[in-house]
């Protein structure tokens, strides 16, 4: 889809592509940020951008070479794709929400993420690398507004001013840095008396081990002949950890689209047979690589529910499973993944279900 602002028109697509007409590559909060910068004649030199999922803000500020914070492999691919489509050389410097930058920025643009923990982590990073005279322009859709936006922002900044609503979006402008004590932005989650999981702010299931994953781990079937195993969409690594307990000598791969998730899993599981992959698909694996693939797959992205990504992953799971291999996964019971799994796999068993969750074992 094309978007024109001032004299520039860019084509911006989602990656991965979608069949859904309701899922767009930008929303009014992105437009609102651009309009605000234009109306207030804010200089875009020395800018850092957060949560720009498909590159809308990065494209329209590309001439100023902003630092773009990339937290997902799929986000990186979306930006590369959209810059290429628009014939813009991709020489944007990039970073992620936990990497350190000692440069000082004058302007930070942030699409407020669904996870308020992530918002807090990102504001702490911005706070660290913003010049004293700098400002932060946060965009959000009014339907997602939470009072915590203001309370979190005021932990870091003296001045927090909200704009009027425009096309059901607002911007929140933050100025004047407060003194903030250094803190570690890690959550700790109880797993057992011996084990606590650590994860960066913004990683899935911050308060407890996810209930679907607990249900899954009680019902997964890891056998002695499962020697090469993948935890797909591994998050903080909890499922891989449970697998390792049962098969300490197996080779276990963990793969996640989120750098914060993958870096968290490195704090929770270790061993010579463990390999971590930062990716949004299985394209680095040969056909018929794994004896077992386990997963609590993704169906939600920020405020969107999207089954298409999981369905693409399932196709690749099929390709990467050895003959006789097994794909075991858990989902919410209302999602009805069964029909899709039946189309792909030779045999699909429901291992256990309750009112909330269902565990499948799919045989290749």
Ligand X SMILES: C[S@@+](CC[C@H](N)C(=O)[O-])C[C@H]1O[C@@H](n2cnc3c(N)ncnc32)[C@H](O)[C@@H]1O
Binding site residues, ligand X, CB under 6 A: 74, 204-205, 210, 213, 233-236, 238-239, 255-258, 261, 280, 296, 298, 309
Count other Cβ atoms within 10 Å, centred on residue 185: 17
Q: Among candidates 77, 102, 103, which has minimal Cα distance to 90?
A: 77
Q: How far apart are CB 81 and ligand X at their closest, in Å?
A: 15
Q: Which is nearer to ligand X, 135 or 280 (CB)?
A: 280
Q: Which is nearer to ligand X, 153 or 309 (CB)?
A: 309
Q: Which is nearer to ligand X, 48 or 255 (CB)?
A: 255
The 3 state secondary structure assigned to 239-273 is HHHHHHHHCCCCEEEEEECEHHHHHHHHHHCCCCC
Q: Among candidates 170, 73, 179, 51, which has minimal Cα distance to 119?
A: 51
Q: Which is nearer to ligand X, 33 or 242 (CB)?
A: 242
- With CB atoms as reference, the residue minimizing the distance to ligand X is 235
Q: Assign residue 100 a region (left: φ > 0; alpha: ψ between -120 and 50; beta: otherwise).
A: beta
Q: Which is nearer to ligand X, 222 or 255 (CB)?
A: 255
Geometric angle at alpha carbon 133, from 128 and 137, rounded to 5°: 75
Q: How far apart are CB 239 and ligand X at their closest, in Å?
A: 5
Q: Pull the structure tokens for residue 24.
A: 């767009």
Q: How far apart are CB 280 and ligand X at their closest, in Å?
A: 4
Q: How far apart are CB 257 and ligand X at their closest, in Å?
A: 4
Q: Which is nearer to ligand X, 125 or 296 (CB)?
A: 296
Whether the CB-CB separation of 195 and 212 falls below 8 Å is answered with: no
Q: How far apart are CB 338 and ligand X at their closest, in Å?
A: 18
Q: Position of tokens 């797959």?
A: 297
Q: Which is nearer to ligand X, 256 or 263 (CB)?
A: 256
Q: How far apart are CB 332 and ligand X at their closest, in Å?
A: 10
CA distance 18 to 306: 9
CA distance 82 to 320: 29
DSSP-derived pairing of the beta strands 304-305 and 321-332: unpaired
Q: How far apart are CB 308 and ligand X at their closest, in Å?
A: 10
């Amino acid at each position: 889809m094309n978007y024109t602002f001032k004299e520039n028109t860019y084509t911006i697509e989602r990656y991965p592509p979608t069949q859904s007409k309701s899922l767009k590559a930008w929303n009014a909060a992105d437009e609102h940020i651009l309009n605000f910068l234009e109306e207030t004649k804010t200089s875009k030199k020395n800018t850092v951008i957060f949560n720009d999922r498909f590159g809308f803000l990065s494209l329209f500020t590309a001439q100023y070479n902003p630092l773009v914070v990339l937290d997902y492999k799929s986000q990186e691919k979306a930006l590369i794709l959209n810059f290429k489509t628009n014939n813009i050389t991709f020489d944007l410097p990039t970073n992620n929400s936990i990497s350190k930058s000692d440069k000082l920025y004058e302007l930070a643009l942030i699409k407020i993420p669904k996870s308020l923990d992530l918002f807090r982590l990102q504001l702490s990073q911005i706070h660290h690398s913003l010049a004293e005279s700098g400002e932060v322009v946060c965009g959000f859709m009014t339907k997602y507004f939470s009072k915590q936006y203001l309370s979190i922002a005021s932990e870091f900044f003296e001045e927090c001013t909200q704009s009027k609503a425009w096309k059901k979006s607002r911007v929140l402008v933050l100025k004047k840095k407060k003194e903030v004590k250094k803190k570690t932005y890690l959550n700790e989650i109880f797993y057992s008396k011996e084990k606590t999981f650590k994860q960066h702010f913004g990683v899935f299931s911050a308060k407890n081990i996810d209930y679907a994953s607990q249900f899954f781990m009680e019902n997964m079937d890891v056998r002695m002949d499962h020697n090469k195993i993948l935890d797909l969409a591994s998050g903080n690594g909890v499922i891989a950890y449970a697998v390792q307990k049962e098969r300490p000598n197996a080779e276990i791969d963990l793969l996640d689209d989120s750098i914060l998730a993958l870096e968290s899993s490195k704090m929770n599981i270790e061993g010579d047979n463990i390999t971590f992959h930062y990716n949004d698909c299985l394209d680095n694996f040969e056909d018929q690589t794994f004896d077992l693939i386990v997963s609590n797959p993704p169906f939600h992205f920020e405020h969107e529910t999207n089954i298409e990504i999981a369905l693409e992953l399932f196709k690749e799971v099929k390709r990467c499973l050895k003959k006789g291999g097994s794909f075991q996964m858990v989902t919410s019971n209302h999602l009805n993944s069964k029909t899709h799994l039946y189309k792909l796999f030779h045999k699909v068993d429901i291992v256990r279900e309750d009112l909330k969750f269902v565990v499948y074992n799919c045989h290749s």
